[in-house]
Amino acid sequence: MSHILITAGPTRAYLDDVRYLTNASSGRMACALAEAALAKGHSVSIVSGPVSVKYPEEARVTSVVTTGDMLKKSLTLLPRVDGVIATAAPCDFEPKQRAKGKLPRQRGLVLDLKPTRDIIATLARQAMPSQWMIAFALEPDGDPARALKKITAKKCDLIVLNDLTALDTTTTSISVFDHSHAMVGQRDGTKASVACWLLELIDTYADKGNLSR
């Protein structure tokens, strides 16, 4: 059985001590994947941003807030796991300088932002050859072109494409592509049923030695 790291939920980039930027993510898919993995006998560690969903008690959960926090904790756990499923929607940008207190509303606001570090790409660069990396990619129009670029750039074994209809719902539709850009499966349904199907696919690939970057 494998030890799987799942990144989950959103992260926050604080503009001041009150306001922040974030991405929409409920953590439901991560929760469903954790439940499916545990049911198959795997061990699960979750690094999650702020969510209201309750993860399985058997999973080891670490709560974080910022993208930097999520990356740091994931890197700490990386040597102990067999693979990573990156379902999180970390904030892609953060202010170059965080203001103290609360910015006055009357002044208006112009944001000067910088990109945050790419979590899955960083993990993939530091992973051992035997460790597999699977990333989720949300594309608003469902076009796989950008997702396929990500699988190469981020050095992932599989990339899971979904779209805006998956946000804050109990259902989803995914397409899975491997590092040769071939679509290896597609599934619609509840997040619980899709998670079970995806775990079966991952286990099949891993058993055949096809998860290699």
Note the CATH architecture for domain 3-91+112-207.
3-Layer(aba) Sandwich (3.40)
pLDDT mean values, one per 10 residues, the chain (213 residues): 97 96 96 98 98 97 98 98 97 95 84 96 95 93 84 93 88 94 95 97 83 58
pTM to 2 decimal places: 0.94
- Of the residues 7, 11, 23, 26, only one is catalytic, namely 23
1, burial (CB in 10 Å: exposed 0-12, middle 13-18, buried 19+): exposed
**What residue ranges do the domains of the chain occupy?**
3-91+112-207
* The predicted structure's pLDDT at residue 165: 83
Active site residue 162: no
Which one, of 120, 63, 122, 116, lies nearest residue 91 by Cα? 116
* The predicted structure's pLDDT at residue 201: 95
* The predicted structure's pLDDT at residue 25: 95
* The predicted structure's pLDDT at residue 174: 95
Backbone angles phi, psi at 182, to 5 degrees: -85, 140
DSSP calls for the chain = --EEEEEESB-EEESSSS-EEE----SHHHHHHHHHHHHTT-EEEEEE-S-SSPPPTTSEEEE--SHHHHHHHHHHHGGG-SEEEE--B--SEEESSPPSS---GGG-----EEEPP-HHHHHHHHS-TT-EEEEEEE-TT--HHHHHHHHHHTT-SEEEEE-GGGTTSSEEEEEEEETTS-EEEEEEEEHHHHHHHHHHHHHHHHHTT----
* The predicted structure's pLDDT at residue 212: 56
What is the DSSP pairing of strand 132-138 with strand 158-162? parallel
Dist CA 167 CA 127 (whole Å):
29
* The predicted structure's pLDDT at residue 210: 66
